[in-house]
Chain A
Amino acid sequence: MDYNCCLANRSLINKLPGQKTAPRMISHILCSLTAITGFCFLFSTHLIYQARLFAIAPHQKGKVQEEPVLSVQNKQAQHFDWALNKLDSSVRRTGRITRTLLLRIFHDMCRTGYPSSNQALLLLRSCGSLLPEVPLCERTELAHMIWGKLQDLGAVYDASHYNALLKVYLQNEHKFSPTEFLSKMEEANVQPNRVTYQRLIAAYCNEGDIEGASKILGFMKMKELPITEAVFSSLVTGHARTGDMENAENIFSVMRDAGIEPGPDTYLALLNAYAEKGDINSVKQILEKIEKMEGYLMDRDLLQVIYSLAKAGYPQYVPDILSQMRYERGYIPDAMNLSLNLITQGLEDTAFQVFKSFPTLPSENHSETSMDYGNFFLQHCVHMDKPLSKLKQFCDELKEANMHSSPLQFTLYCALESKKAALAINLMKTMKEEGLPLRPHYSWPLLVGYQKEKNVQGTIGVLKAMHELGVEPDVETYTNYVLTNFDDIQTFRALLQVSLNEQFFIYCYVMAQFCSCSLCRILIESISVILVECFLLFFSTEAVGYFLYNLIDSMSDSEVQAKEEHLRQYFHQLKKMNVVIPTNIYRGIRNLLAAYHVPELIKNTEVSALEEELEKLKAEKQPIGNVLKQLIVALCAEENMQKALEVKAKYEPDMVVGGYAALINLCCRHDNVEDAMNLKEEVFRKDSSVALDTNKYLALVKVLGKHGRLEDAINILKEIKEKDIPIKDTTVTSFFHILNAAAMRGEVETVNRLHESILTLGLAKPSTNLCTPLITVHLEKDDVPSALEATIDCYKKYGKMPRLHDILCRLIEQGNTELLQKAMDFVSQERGEMMMLYDIFFAFLNTGKYKEAKKIIETPGLRARPGSLQWFAEKCIATNQMETLENMVEMTQKLFECDRDEMYYYLLKLCKISNDWRKAEATWTKMQEENVIPRARTLRLLADTLKNNGQEVPFDVPEVIYVNALYMPLQCNVTSQLFFFILIVEAYNILLEAQKKDIMFPASAYSTLIKALLAEGCLEEALKVKNIAETHIKGFTLNDAASSLLIITQVRRDYLKDAISTLKKVLESDMVPMSLAVIRLIQALAMKGDLESICTVEKMVENLATSIGLSRMLFVNNTVLAHIKKPATDLFLQYVDAGRVDDARFLLQVIIYQERNSSTLLDLVPDFPDMKIVYSYLLKCHALDNDVVSAKTLFEKMKSENIHTDEIFLKRLAVLLKNAGEPVPFTEPPESFHFYVNKLTQERQEISSHAE
C-alpha cells in the first residue's frame, strides 16, 4: 500500500526545504480512521519497553525545581538537579558522559555528606553505556565503587537501585551470578520486582543459559507477574547464543500465542543474533520484513546491530547497515557514542567507518576551526593510547577526505592536553617529517605538568627531546616553565572567586525561581493560605482578592468551616495591612461564605442605622446627600434592589453620582436592564460629564448584550472609549466573560459585533482568550465547519488559533476527514509541521485514536515540546483522563529529548488525585524499566500516594523541603518587611503545630526559620525552634548563616557571653561564621572594654580570619578601643616590647585620633624606636585640628632633635601653613600630596617584598 511506504519514509529531518510530506501523510492517517489497518508494532503499548540511552530525564529550562538552596541538606536536592542537568546536557550534547564528569559529581555528592537515593540512582545509572570512553570492566568497577561508597555514606538502596545495577551489568557485559544477586537482594531485604526478573533473565540469556532463564521465568509465573516483550526478546538472544536459531525464531510464534505482537525490541534481538553469526543475508531479510510491516527500527537500533557485527568480527558488513540509516535527530550523538565505544574496545577501524558516515559532520570547536571534523575521534584514540601508526593513518585519511585541515596538530594537542609526553614527542617527530613547523611553546603544556609535580627529570627530558627535534626553548620557556615555581596563594584566590560567583549565581537563581509563577503552584500544593502574602508581594491587591476567592471556592464546606478561625485571622491581618479587596470580589467571597454557612465571617453593614440617621437629618432639614449615598450603597451590598430603588425614588433630588453608580450596578446584577439604563440616562441628565467606573460600564454591556440590546451595548463600549475609562487586565477578562456568555447562548452576531467593537475601539488587544468565544459560539451549536472557518479567520485577522484542539477532536469524532485535512494543511502552513503534528497527536489521543496518535508521535525527527506536552498532560489531569495520559506517556517514550521524569510525574499526579496507588506503583516499576531517574518531587508524590493508601513505601523518601520554598522571600530583599514578618510568624506557628502532631521538617527548614526569626530579632522564638530541632533531629546544628545571625542577635541583646559560646560551637563544628557576626561581637566587646574576651575571640578565629575577610586591624582597632574604654593605655608599650611595630604604629594613630592629646602620647612613648613616625602622626593630628601653633612647635622640636622630615611631612605642613596664611619657612615639595603618599606606599611595598 502506498500508505505504508509513506509512513515508512516520513521524516522531518530528511525533508528538503519546501517539500511537503505532511499533508500526504495526514491524509493516509485519516484513511485509517475509517479503515483501520493492521499495524504490526501497534500492539498493547504496555509491553514496549526498551532500554534507552537517553532515559535520564532532561531538565527543563525555565522550569522550577522546588528546591531552593538554603542549607546543606537543601543543597542535596539542588545538587541533584544540578548533577542531573549536568549529566543530561552532556548526554544530549555529546551522547555520553565523561568519567571525569561522573567522578566529579560523585565526589561532590560525597562531600555534601548525605547522598539521597535518587542521587545514587543517577550515578549508578550512568555507569553503563553512557560511558563509551571507559572500558567495560572499568565501568562496572566504577559502579561497584560508587555503590559501596554511597552505601557507607548512608544511601538507602531499593529495588530501583538493584535494577539499575543489573542494567549496568547488562550494558557492560559483566558476568555475574544471578542467584547470588538475588540472595544479596534478599539479605538487604529488598523485594525483586518484574524489572529485576526481566533483567536477570536477560543476564542468563546473554550467557546462553536457557535453563537459568527458565528458572527465573518460573518465579515470575509464580508471582503472577506479566511476561512482557522484554522477556521474549531476551529468550531470542538466549536461544541464539546457544546456537539454536530455529528456537530463537520460534519465540516469535510463542509470543503471538501469548497475545503479544513482537515489537522492535524482539526484532532487534533477532537481528543482533544473526549479526553475531555474521549472517548478513538474514539480517537484511529481517530488515526488509520489518519495512514491509510498516514498522521501522530506529537508527539507534541499527547502530546496535553494527556493534554486534563489529564485536563478532564481521566489520565487512558494517557498510550494509550504515546504508540503512535514516539520520534521525539524535543520530550523531548516538553514532558518536558507538564510535567511541568501539574505539574503547579496540575496534577503532569500525569506529572510523561509523564516524565517516555522519551526515552533517559536527564541528566541535567553532572557535578554532570551522571545518574540522573528527576531533572527538582523534581525541579518544589518543586517550586510549592507540599506536602512532594508527593515529597517523586516521589523520592522513581525514586530511585526504578534506574533513580536517590539521589533524596531526589536533592529535598533538590532545596528547599535550592529556600530558602524554612520549606520544606528543613522537607526533612532533612525525610532523617534522611531514614538513610541519614545530614551535617552542608546543612543549609548554608538558612542562607545566612537570613544573607542578616538581619533576626535574621530566622537564629535562622534554627539553632534550625538543632539542633533538631542533627546537630550542626560548626565553619564555625558561622563565615561565622551567625556572619558576608556581604561586599557591593565587590558586587559592582563584578558588575563592569561584565560590563567590556560585553564591551570586544561586542568588539569581532563587530570585528567578521565585518570580516565576510555577513556584506559586508548588506553594498551592503545600500551604495555600500563605500564598496570599506572596501574591501580595509580587502582584496586586486585586490578585489577592481573586486568589482568596478561588481559594475559598476550592475549599469544601467542612474545610471552610474548619478553617474559619484561620480565615478570620487572615482577614484581620489583611485589614491591618490595609489591603482592600475590590467590592465585587468581596461580594463573591461573601456569597461563597454564606453558601458555606459561615456568613458571620463578614459583617453586615447596618442599613437600619443609616435609615434612622437619614430620617433624622431629613427632619432636621440638614443635607442628606452623604448618608443617602451610604444607605444606597448599604442596600446594594445587601442586594436589596427593590428597597434601594424605592429609597432612590423617595429622595431623588438628593441623589449623588456615587449612589446612582451603585444602583446601576445593582440593577445590572439583578438583570434589570430597563432600570439600569433609565438610571444611567437620569444621572447623565443631571451631569453629562459624569463617567461611571469601568466595572459599571461592563455590567451594563453585559446586561444589554444578554437582553439583545446589541446597539446599546456597542454604544456603551463607545462611551468607554470616549470617556477614556481606564482599562485594566480585569476589564479584558470581563470582556471575555461577556463574549463567552453570549457565545454560550449561541448568539453569533452578538459575539462577533461586540468582539469587533472591542478591538476596533482599541479597548483590548487581540488575544487567544478574547477570540475564543468567536469559535465557542459555533461549537456550542455543534457547527464545526463554521468553527473551523472562524478559527482560520481569527488567525488571519489576529494571529490566534483558539480552540483548535476542540475543533480537531470534533472533526475526528465526526470522521470528517476532508475538513480535518483542511485544518491540518492550514496549521502546517501557518505554524509549521511540528506544531501541526502535535495538534493532531493530541486530538487523536483525546479522542481515543491511540494507534493513529502513535504513528504521529513516531514521526522521525519529531522532538519533544515540553510546553505542549505539559499543556496536554495538565488538561488530562484536570479532566481526570487517566487512560489518555497513560497513552501519551507511553507513546512519548522514544520521543527525542522527552523529559521522562516529567512525563511520569504527570501520571503520578493524576494517580494521586484519583488516589490510585496501584497505578502509582505500576508507574514506578515502569520508570525502572525505562531507567528513568525520578526527581525528588516525583518520589515524594509517589510516596504520598502510597502512604495515603496505607501502603509501604519501598524506597527512601527524599526529605520534604517545601517549607523552604516558603521562606524564600526571606532571601529576597524585595519589599515590605511586614510581609516577611507575617510569613515568619505563620511559619513559626505551623512549626509549633506540627511539633504537637509530631510532624517533622527537615533540618534545613528549622535552620531557615531560625534564621528568619533572628533576622526579625525574635531571639526567644528562635531559641525555642532551635530547641525543638535539637531534641528531634539527632545532631542538629544550625548552619553557618543561622548561627551567625544568632550571634548578631545575641550581641544586639547584649548577651555577649552567649554570643561567644555560640561562636565557639560554630567553630567547633567546623562551620564558618559570617565576618559580620565576628565584627559585631568584637565591637560590642570593645565597647565593654572586655580586652580578655577580645583576645579569646581573636584566638578562636585566628585561622579563619583571612578566609572570611576579617582584617587583623579589626582586633587591633577594637583592642585599642577597649583600652580607651579602660583607663590603661599600656597596650602600645606591650606592642613595642613585643616588636609588633605595625600594630604599634596603627595603635598610635588611633590613640592620637581618639585622644588628640600629644603630651600624654609623648609621655607614653618616650623610647619609641622611630620617633619620626610619631611626629608624622602628630602633625597629621594637628593638621586635622587646624592647629597651626602646635604644628609649628612640632616642626621646631623636630629640627632641634635633628629628626629628618620627609616630603609628606613637609607637604602637609606647607599646606597647613598656607591655608592659615602663614609663610612657609622651607621649600615646599612641588608635587601633589597624593603623589608623595603613593611614593611612600610604593617604597614600603618594595621594602617588604625585599624582606620576603
Chain B
Amino acid sequence: MAATRGSSRRVFELFVSQIHWTLATKELRDYFAQFGTVRKCTLPFDKETGFHKGFCWIGFSSEEGLRNALQKESHILDGIKLQVQQQKRRSFRSQYTNEGETDMS
C-alpha cells in the first residue's frame, strides 16, 4: 500500500524517460544515488517482450536529492542521455505500482 504510506511521508519523485534497454533498475538506482538517497525506483517492464518500457520513476527520500538531480544539466548513463524531469502528479504513477516495482523503503 504504497499510496497510503506515501501520504504520511512525502516522496520526491523524478520521471525519467528515454532509458536505453540495456539499463535496469539497479543501474538507475546506482546512478541517481549520487544525488541523494533513492527510496524507490520503479521501472515498468513489458511482460510480453521482456523489455522495459523506457521510462521510470525515481523517488528520493529528501527534497535535496531531487533538487540535486534536477540541477544537473544532462544525465548520461552508459553514454546515452536520459530525459529527466520532476514528476508532477503522483496519480499517474500508481497504475504502474505492480509492475516491476522494487520498493525498498
Contacts and interface: CB of A to CB of B under 8 A. Distances in A.
Contacts of B24: 439-441
Nearest to B48: A448
Interface stretch (B2-10, B15-23, B63-71, B86-94): B15-23
A447 interface: yes
B interface SS class? loop
A417 B49 contact: yes
A444 B51 contact: yes
Interface string B22-35: 11111100000000
Interface string A358-373: 0000000001111000
A47 B26 CA distance: 66
A405 B50 contact: no
Given A369-B80, A439-B27, A440-B24, A476 B100 contact: yes
A368 B47 CA distance: 20
A420 to B, nearest CB: 14
Given A367-B18, A409-B22, A448-B50, A480 B45 contact: yes
Nearest to B21: A413
A449 B25 CA distance: 22
A439 B50 CA distance: 13
Contact of A416 (B18, B27, B50): B50
Interface in A339-378: 367-370
Contacts, number: 59
Q: Which residue, A368, A441, A446, A481, has most C-beta atoms of chain B within 10 A?
A: A441
Contacts of B48: 448
B97 to A, nearest CB: 15
B102 interface: yes
A439 B20 CA distance: 13
B51 A368 contact: no
Interface in A401-421: 405-406, 409, 413, 416-417
Contact of A486 (B27, B45, B47, B102): B47
A446 B50 contact: yes
B82 to A, nearest CB: 11
A202 to B, nearest CB: 44
Interface string A1212-1229: 000000000000000000
Contacts of B36: none
Interface size class of B (residues with CB under 8 A): 20 to 34
Interface string A163-184: 0000000000000000000000
Given A405-B80, A448-B47, A476 B22 contact: no
A730 to B, nearest CB: 50
A448 B49 contact: yes
Nearest to A474: B26
A444 B25 CA distance: 14
Given A417-B49, A445-B51, A480-B47, A368 B18 contact: yes
Contact of A368 (B21, B45, B49): B21
B6 to A, nearest CB: 18
Given A405-B79, A406-B79, A439 B22 contact: yes
Contacts of A440: 24
B100 A368 contact: no
Contacts of A416: 50-51
B11 to A, nearest CB: 21
B18 A481 contact: no
A439 B21 CA distance: 11
Contacts of B20: 368-369, 406, 409
Nearest to B43: A441
A419 to B, nearest CB: 9
Contact of B50 (A370, A406, A445): A445
A368 B50 contact: no
A369 B24 CA distance: 17
Interface string A420-457: 00000000000000000101111011111100000000
Contacts of B50: 416, 441, 444-449, 481
B52 interface: yes
Nearest to A436: B22
B16 to A, nearest CB: 13
A202 B62 CA distance: 75
Contact of B45 (A370, A439, A444, A474): A444
Nearest to B52: A441
Contacts of B49: 417, 445, 448
A480 B100 contact: yes
Nearest to A479: B100
B63 to A, nearest CB: 29
Nearest to A481: B50
Contacts of A446: 50
B12 to A, nearest CB: 24
A486 B45 CA distance: 14
B69 to A, nearest CB: 21
B47 to A, nearest CB: 7
24 contacts: A367-B54, A368-B20, A368-B21, A368-B54, A369-B20, A406-B20, A406-B22, A406-B78, A409-B22, A416-B50, A417-B49, A417-B51, A439-B24, A439-B27, A444-B45, A444-B51, A445-B49, A445-B50, A448-B49, A474-B26, A476-B25, A480-B45, A480-B100, A481-B50
Interface of B: 18, 20-27, 45, 47-52, 54, 78-81, 100, 102
Given A448-B48, A476-B102, 9 more contacts: A370-B81, A406-B22, A406-B78, A416-B50, A439-B22, A441-B45, A445-B51, A480-B100, A486-B47
